[in-house]
Amino acid sequence: AVMPSSKVSGKILPANLDEKGYGGISRSGARSIKTGQAGYTSRIDLHGCGRDEAHQRLKAFIAASVNNGHRHVLIITGKGMGGKGVIRSHLPIWLDEPPLSSHVIAYCQAQPKDGGAGAWYVNLRRRS
Protein backbone atom coordinates (compact mmCIF):
# COMPACT_ATOMS: atom_id res chain seq x y z
CA ALA A 1 0.00 0.00 0.00
CA VAL A 2 1.14 3.52 -0.73
CA MET A 3 1.72 5.59 2.38
CA PRO A 4 0.60 9.22 2.30
CA SER A 5 3.11 12.03 2.74
CA SER A 6 3.12 13.90 6.01
CA LYS A 7 0.77 16.88 6.19
CA VAL A 8 1.34 20.15 7.97
CA SER A 9 -1.45 22.78 7.86
CA GLY A 10 -3.10 20.87 5.01
CA LYS A 11 0.03 20.95 2.84
CA ILE A 12 1.71 17.75 1.73
CA LEU A 13 5.37 17.52 2.70
CA PRO A 14 7.97 15.78 0.55
CA ALA A 15 8.68 12.18 1.50
CA ASN A 16 12.08 11.29 2.90
CA LEU A 17 12.28 7.84 1.32
CA ASP A 18 14.98 6.90 3.84
CA GLU A 19 12.44 7.29 6.67
CA LYS A 20 8.77 7.72 5.74
CA GLY A 21 7.79 5.08 3.23
CA TYR A 22 6.66 6.10 -0.24
CA GLY A 23 5.14 9.54 0.20
CA GLY A 24 2.32 9.17 -2.28
CA ILE A 25 4.46 7.77 -5.09
CA SER A 26 4.35 4.17 -6.24
CA ARG A 27 6.54 1.56 -4.60
CA SER A 28 8.31 1.00 -7.93
CA GLY A 29 8.81 4.76 -8.34
CA ALA A 30 10.30 4.98 -4.85
CA ARG A 31 12.55 1.99 -5.57
CA SER A 32 13.70 3.59 -8.83
CA ILE A 33 14.68 6.77 -6.97
CA LYS A 34 16.34 4.97 -4.03
CA THR A 35 18.42 2.68 -6.24
CA GLY A 36 19.51 5.51 -8.50
CA GLN A 37 17.82 3.89 -11.52
CA ALA A 38 15.71 7.02 -12.06
CA GLY A 39 18.95 8.76 -12.94
CA TYR A 40 19.34 12.50 -12.65
CA THR A 41 19.40 15.20 -15.28
CA SER A 42 20.94 18.00 -13.24
CA ARG A 43 23.21 18.28 -10.21
CA ILE A 44 24.67 20.81 -7.82
CA ASP A 45 27.70 20.50 -5.56
CA LEU A 46 27.20 22.41 -2.30
CA HIS A 47 30.07 21.05 -0.26
CA GLY A 48 32.51 23.73 0.75
CA CYS A 49 29.72 26.33 1.01
CA GLY A 50 28.63 27.90 4.28
CA ARG A 51 25.15 26.99 5.51
CA ASP A 52 23.42 30.19 4.36
CA GLU A 53 25.16 30.23 0.97
CA ALA A 54 24.28 26.55 0.44
CA HIS A 55 20.62 27.25 1.28
CA GLN A 56 20.44 30.16 -1.18
CA ARG A 57 22.17 28.17 -3.94
CA LEU A 58 19.86 25.21 -3.29
CA LYS A 59 16.72 27.36 -3.61
CA ALA A 60 17.97 28.87 -6.89
CA PHE A 61 18.98 25.43 -8.23
CA ILE A 62 15.61 23.80 -7.41
CA ALA A 63 13.66 26.70 -8.95
CA ALA A 64 15.80 26.60 -12.12
CA SER A 65 15.57 22.80 -12.32
CA VAL A 66 11.76 22.88 -12.11
CA ASN A 67 11.59 25.68 -14.70
CA ASN A 68 13.84 23.67 -17.03
CA GLY A 69 11.69 20.54 -16.68
CA HIS A 70 14.13 18.44 -14.63
CA ARG A 71 12.37 15.77 -12.54
CA HIS A 72 15.32 13.99 -10.92
CA VAL A 73 18.33 15.90 -9.58
CA LEU A 74 21.41 15.10 -7.51
CA ILE A 75 22.45 17.36 -4.65
CA ILE A 76 25.98 16.87 -3.36
CA THR A 77 26.40 18.04 0.22
CA GLY A 78 29.59 16.29 1.25
CA LYS A 79 29.76 14.30 4.47
CA GLY A 80 31.28 16.96 6.70
CA MET A 81 33.90 16.49 9.36
CA GLY A 82 33.34 13.24 11.21
CA GLY A 83 30.17 12.56 9.22
CA LYS A 84 28.33 15.50 10.86
CA GLY A 85 28.10 17.85 7.91
CA VAL A 86 26.11 21.02 8.46
CA ILE A 87 24.72 21.10 4.90
CA ARG A 88 24.07 17.36 4.93
CA SER A 89 22.08 17.59 8.16
CA HIS A 90 20.13 20.68 7.05
CA LEU A 91 19.16 19.46 3.56
CA PRO A 92 16.12 17.37 4.66
CA ILE A 93 14.90 20.29 6.78
CA TRP A 94 15.24 22.71 3.86
CA LEU A 95 13.46 20.31 1.47
CA ASP A 96 10.56 19.92 3.93
CA GLU A 97 10.02 23.70 4.33
CA PRO A 98 8.64 26.32 1.94
CA PRO A 99 9.57 27.38 -0.65
CA LEU A 100 11.31 24.10 -1.55
CA SER A 101 8.61 21.75 -0.22
CA SER A 102 6.22 22.92 -2.94
CA HIS A 103 8.64 21.66 -5.63
CA VAL A 104 9.82 18.39 -4.05
CA ILE A 105 7.97 15.06 -4.19
CA ALA A 106 10.54 12.85 -2.50
CA TYR A 107 14.22 12.57 -1.63
CA CYS A 108 16.70 10.04 -0.29
CA GLN A 109 20.40 9.50 0.23
CA ALA A 110 22.26 8.67 -2.99
CA GLN A 111 23.84 5.35 -3.87
CA PRO A 112 27.63 5.07 -3.35
CA LYS A 113 28.28 5.47 -7.11
CA ASP A 114 26.66 8.95 -6.92
CA GLY A 115 28.14 10.10 -3.61
CA GLY A 116 26.50 7.90 -0.97
CA ALA A 117 26.03 9.62 2.39
CA GLY A 118 27.39 12.87 0.93
CA ALA A 119 24.70 13.23 -1.74
CA TRP A 120 20.92 13.08 -2.18
CA TYR A 121 18.53 12.15 -4.98
CA VAL A 122 15.61 14.58 -5.19
CA ASN A 123 12.43 13.95 -7.21
CA LEU A 124 10.81 17.22 -8.33
CA ARG A 125 7.22 18.05 -9.24
CA ARG A 126 6.34 18.99 -12.79
CA ARG A 127 6.29 22.70 -13.54
CA SER A 128 2.76 24.00 -12.95
Contact 17, 105 (CB under 8 A): no
Chain centroid to CA 103: 10
**What is the spatial distance between Cα 88 and Cα 118, in angstroms, rounded to a whole number?**
7
> What are 82-101's pLDDT values in tens digits?
767 899 999 999 999 999 99
The pLDDT of residue 32? 82
Q: Which residues contact 47 (CB under 8 A, 6 or more apart)?
A: 76, 77, 78, 85, 87, 118
Q: For residue 3, is pLDDT > 50? A: no
Q: For residue 75, is pLDDT > 50? A: yes
* Fold of domain 7-124: Ribosomal Protein S8; Chain: A, domain 1 (3.30.1370)
SS3 119: strand
> What are 43-68's pLDDT values in tens digits?
999 988 999 999 999 999 999 999 99
* Other beta carbons less than 10 A from residue 80's beta carbon: 15
Taken in order 59, 76, 37, 27, the sign of the CA dihedral is negative
The pLDDT of residue 22? 61
Tell me the average pLDDT across 13-34: 74
The pLDDT of residue 4? 39
**What is the spatial distance between Cα 18 and Cα 16, in angstroms, rounded to a whole number?**
5
**pTM to 2 decimal places:** 0.83
The pLDDT of residue 82? 73
